[in-house]
Structures are given as structure tokens and as C-alpha cells.
Structure 1
Amino acid sequence: MAGYKVDDESEEWHELLKRSALAVLYSRANRMKKTITIIGKMIAGLVIALVLFLLIVFVVNIVCNKMEQGKIESYGQSVTVDGKNMNIFIQGEGEETVVLLPGYGTVAPGLDFQPLVDELSPFYKVVVVEPFGYGLSDSTDKERSTENIVSEVHEALQQLQIEQYIVMGHSISGLYGLDYVNTYPNEVSAFVGLDSSVPSISEKKIGSSIIRTIKFLKQSGLARLQVKLGDDPYADLSYDKKTKEQLRMLKHKNMYNSTQLNEAEMMYENFKAAESLSFPKNLPVIFFIQADHPVTDRWVPEHHKQIKDSVYGQVVTFDGDHYLYRTKAKEIVEGLRKFMKEVR
């Protein structure tokens, strides 16, 4: 009888254990279900918050764009090129003319070049060209090949009856300027590079996926937010408060516009096309460049190579960043005037 009793108790004990195990599993499943529900609600909340954030950024960008349109002030004069308006800023009445061409993405060359223009204008007539997509100039759907850009700049100068001049180009305009002096050799009296690009140090090819991402940043308003959260490149410079505000608004207007994005897409091909070009032997060429490039140690040597066959060639280095004309304007003009006196 005792044996049977132990068996009965054993069966009951196992049944109790099974029920306890099931209860524990049920409890765990319940807790997991609640955890998943909470996580799901958190994710949904984050998605809703993100959508609301993007919506706010989008609306703020539209409102700010509308407000800024009425606050942007005109400067310079407009000329018709290829049926569109190109803005040209002119200062100074010197007998000799300097044509200033901007680097890639310069939001408003007529304002951005002001420190250099102020130093040049007592001695030269200074003509700042704002290519399509820059400053107050119209945008264009025409391909941003070097050939088209050079042709448009030349047409603008022809409209203004400017026939003889020094070409001074910053950054990517070193590439366009190289083509320009070979296309119109009888009009250009010298070339001046301001930390100018060289064909042998090519930009990387920009893929369509990157362009789509940049377009999204522009259209969504995130590009405006990016600028707002980033450092102000003009904060510690000599521009007056009004000019800084105009530059800020024009940056929002022109940054990542379709014309400049097409120029970025074409950049690799434009560099490749320039590899076969060199400066005319008898053309005076002077480069004002940064001594220590942050990316490549080939910067100074490659500029020297560009003028190795030039009768009148010189490289001047400065301790400074890519935008030397903002901080070294006086030294650049002094160097240019001395160079031009020597070559004459």
C-alpha cells in the first residue's frame, strides 16, 4: 500500500511541476508580449516624431525661402547670355581689366570676392562674373561642360565690350581658365590662379545616388538646417554685417541648385578633358596658392609643373586656407602688380 501511495504522490508532484512550468512559460510569454508591444509603441512614436520633425523642417524652409526672396538686394548689372540673365559686378576704372571667376559653389561671387575687389579696384577695372547658377544669375539646363561655361563667360564679356583683360580664377576656375586662355589667346594678357585647380589632381567622379541624396537635402529643407548647425565661414572675416546677411540668404537660395549639381556631375569629365591642355608659353601666369594643402602634398609641385615651360611663370605660397582671397587680398594684389611690372 505504501508503494502505491508514493506512486500516487509522484504522479501528483509531476503534474504540479508541469503546471508550474506552464505557468512560468505563460508568464514569460506574457511579459515578452508586453515588451514587444511597448517597443512597437516606442518605434511608432519615434517614426511619428521623425515625420513631424521632417514636416516642420520642410515647412520652415519654404517659409524662409519666401521671406528671403524679398530681402535679397540687387548688385551689379545683368547681361543677356544664351537667352538668360547673367549677373556681372564691376568696380574700379583702371586702364587694365581683371576678370574674376569663382570657385565651385561660391554662393555670390560679387559679394564673396569683395575683399579682393576692394584691393584691386584702385589699380584695375575689376569684373566679377557670376556664372549661371551663382549669385544673382539665372540657372540653366544647359550641360555644365567646360566648353559651355567658357563660352558663356566670353559672351558676357563681349556684351560688355571687354576685349583685353587678365583672367583671375579661384579653385575650379583654374580648370576653366586653362581652357579659356587657349580658346581666346588674343584677348587674355595674363592668368592668375587663386589656389586654382590643376588637371593632374582630379576630383572623384560623383555618382547619381549622391546627387539624389543632395537633392533630397535641398528639397526637404535639411540643407538649411545643416547650414544653421554648421560653422559660419564669414563670422570672423572683414565683411560687414549687411553683406554677411546677404551671403547667408544667397547661400540658401543657390546651394545645391540644379545648375551647380550638374556642374558637380560634369567635374570629373571636365578634369579629364583638361589633361591635354597647357598654358601658352608666352602667357604670363602666376599662382597664389596655399603652402600646405590639407589633402595632398602634390599641390605646390603640380602648380610648378604647369608653368615649367612658361616664359613668365611664378608660384607664390601663403599660409592660409583655400579661400586665400578673403584673408590675403592685399598680398595677392601687391604680388600681382609686381609680377606684371616684371613681365612688361
Structure 2
Amino acid sequence: MRAGKAIVRTSLRRALIVAGAVGTLLAVGLTTTTVVNAVSTETEKDRIETYGRTVSVDGRSMNVVVSGEGDQDLVLLPGFGTASPALDFEPLVAELAQDHRVIVVEPFGYGLSDGTERARTTDNIVNEIHEALQVLEVDRYVVMGHSIAGLYAIEYANRYADEVTAFVGIDSSVPGQPNMDTVFPTGLLAAAKNLGLIRLVAHASGDGLDGLDYDDDAREQMSLLSNRNSLTPTYLDEMNRIRTNFADAAGTGFPVALPVLLFVVADNAGNPDWIDLHESQAAEVDDGTVIPLDGEHYLHHTHAPEIADDFRLWEADRRLLVD
């Protein structure tokens, strides 16, 4: 009996020693990643290269990049959380700027733009983008948007119907798409960033741009800006409001007279109704077109020439140019 109790005490003691060792290793590991993250964040500031120009919006600096000198203005808007819209869109801009003036707007919290304490509601985001374009004296233009920009663009096109001549979506979000009522664990994500875990995961997983038309400098800058911009208070506020922004957009659509062209992932394994949702959206306007493309959500990474060429053909059949 005494021998049995001794074995139990010995096993318990060993378990406590192991648990203590594991706890110590975790504490040391988290301390290390926290320190590395803080030091890296500070040193990376000087490695971020400027591009584009800033305009004053609501007393803050918003970054924009203007390329090309064509007769038609084309405004590019990013998907949620894009670290650097200007660099992310670079292959597509190179194609479109051959015969268009292309304006990439980096909303607050994106790219080189400032963050903001203003709520990331659709209403505020739309107002801010429009204010930036007003500063640039851009008043007649096609809006081309990726992902959640498609949701914001609905409000934008209805509010500024006298300015927007068409909408072009790149696997753009649609009101009523499923699973947009998710409550994100933003508190945990913020803690993970502060502990350096997000940086660690990003380093281990890579940037997903191997074999694509981005040079080493662009990839490095996107990585630096991703480390800077991801999971900031501005980012987290927009993430928190995805659910309510989609709820507010329920039942809305583009103006009936607005030409709409939608480039859509042909086979969305996570949403078998993805094409149907976009075809329904296109059917709500007088002139709606859906072009399915094989690929993944960031179609402009892999199909930039095709998107530009198909857009030109579609545009040529419509009176979108400013007289």
C-alpha cells in the first residue's frame, strides 16, 4: 500500500515538474516573440518605402496612387485587410494604365494611409473615399473593386450616381452571401499580434505570391506593410463591423441604369451558389454581365491581363467615356 502511494506521489511530482517546465518554455517563448515583434515593428518603419501621394481627408492623410493618362478614369478599391492596395493591384494597374487613368485609393488603415478612430461603417468609408476623389478633382469614373469593396460600392454608386459610370467587381462581395454574420475574436487576435504570434505564423506560411508577377522589392514592401497594418485598431474595427455592414446592405443593389461587370471565381468550393449570387446581382440592373474565371479569390493576382482585356471589350460596347 505504501509502495502504491509512493508511486502516485512520484508520478504526481513528475507531472508537476513537466507542467512547470512546459509553462516556463511557453512563457519564455512568448516573451521572446513579444520582444522580437516589438523590436521588428520599430526597425521596419525605416524600411517602408513611400509611393503615391497623400490627400487630406477628415484631417488625416489618405494615400492614393495615380497611374496612366487615358481619357477614362478608373478607381480601384481593395478587399478587406489588403496590406498595400497599390502594390497588390500593381500587375492589374500596369495593364489598365496603358489606356486609362487609374486611381488606387488606400482607405484609412490600408497601405500608407493613416489609421482612424472613426467607426468603419460603410457610410464612413464611402464618404472618405469620395472626399479623397474630390480632392483629386475626379468626378466621372468607373469603380472597380475587389471583395468587400463590392459591398461598399453599392452604397457608393447609389449615393454618387451622377459620378459613377460603371461598376466592375473582382470576385466582389454580394449582399446576402452566407456566413457574413460571424463574430470575430478580435480581442484574441489583437493579443496574438502583440505577442508576436501573427508575425510568426505569417513568416512560416509565406506570402502566397510565389510564381506571380511581383518582384522581390514589392513582396518585401507588402510584407512590411502587412506587419504594420494587420490587426491594428482600424483593421479590427472594420472586421468587427463586417457583420453589421452586411446586414445593413441586405436587399440593396446597384442603380438599375448602372452598367455592371462582375469577374467571379468559377468554382468556389466554400460557396456553391457563388456564381448564382452574382448572376442574380447582375440581373437586377439593365446591363449586367458575369464573367467566371478559374482561380482563387485574388483573381487580379493571376488574371490581370485577362481582366484588363475583357474589361476593354466590355467597355468598348458602352458609352462610358466622358464626352
What's the TM-score once normalised by structure 2's chain length? Answer: 0.96
Give the one of 114, 121, 128 matched to 1:138.
114
SS in 1 for 2:99: coil
Counterpart secondary structure, 1:88:
strand
Shift of 1:27: 2.1
Q: 1:87 aligns with which of 63, 67, 88?
A: 63
Bigger Cα Rg? 1
CA shift for structure 1 position 39: 1.5
Task: Give the whole-Å Cα distance in 1 for the aligned partners of 2:284 and 2:59.
Answer: 40
Partner residue in 2 for 1:327: 302
CA displacement 1:262-301 (0-9 Å, x = unmatched): 1111111111211232211211110011100121111111
Opposite residue 146 of structure 2, the aligned amino acid is H
Shift of residue 98, structure 1, vs aligned partner: 0.4
Q: Does 1:196 align with 2:184?
A: no
Matched, 1:341 2:316: yes
The aligned residue for residue 246 of structure 1 is 221
Deviations 1:137-189 (A, max 9, x none): 11111111100000000000001111111000000000000110000000011
Residue aligning to 2:38: 62
SS at match of 1:70: helix
Amino acid at match of 1:182: N
Distance 1:83 1:308 in 2: 40
> For residue 342 of structure 1, what is the amino acid of its counterpart?
D
Corresponding residue of 2:196: 221
Cα distance in 1, alignment partners of residues 215 and 11 from structure 2? 58
> Any runs of at least 4 consecutive aligned residues in structure 1 with deviations exceeding 2 A, and if so which?
202-208
- How far apart are 1:202 and its partner, in Å? 4.2
Structure-2 separation of matches of 1:80 and 1:114: 24
Matched, 1:41 2:17: yes
- CA positional deviation for 1:32: 2.0
Q: Does 304-313 or 136-145 show the bigger shift?
A: 304-313
Q: Establish whether residue 172 from structure 1 lines up as the match of residue 148 from structure 2.
A: yes
Superposition deviation, residue 40 in structure 1:
1.1
Residue identity opposite 2:301 in structure 1: R
Instruction: Measure, in 1, the Cα distance between the counterparts of 2:8 and 2:129.
Output: 68
Query: Does 1 or 2 have the higher relative contact order (CA < 8 Å, sep 6+)?
Result: 2
The whole-number CA distance in structure 2 between the counterparts of 1:207 and 1:190 is 33
TM-score, structure 1 normalization: 0.90
Q: How far did 1:251 drift?
A: 0.8
Report the aligned-residue RMSD.
1.1
* Contact 1:312-1:343 at 8 Å conserved across structures: no
Distance across 1 between alignment mates of 2:181 and 2:194: 23
Equivalent residue in structure 2 for 1:283, among 258, 281, 299: 258
Amino acid aligned to 1:295: G
Match of 1:8 in 2: none
Displacement of 1:307 after TM fit? 1.9
Are the equivalent residues in 1 in contact too, given 2:122–2:155 (CA < 8 A)?
yes
Give distance in 1, aligned partners of 2:163 and 2:153: 13
Choose from 118, 126, 132 the match for 1:156.
132
Whether contact under 8 Å (2:253, 2:284) holds in the other structure is no
Match of 2:104 in 1: 128
Distance in 1 (alpha carbons) for counterparts of 2:197 and 2:131: 36
Which ranges in structure 1 are unaligned for 5 or more consecutive residues? 1-24
**SS at the partner of 2:27?**
helix
**1:109-132 CA deviation, whole Å, 9 max, x = no partner?**
010000100000011000000000
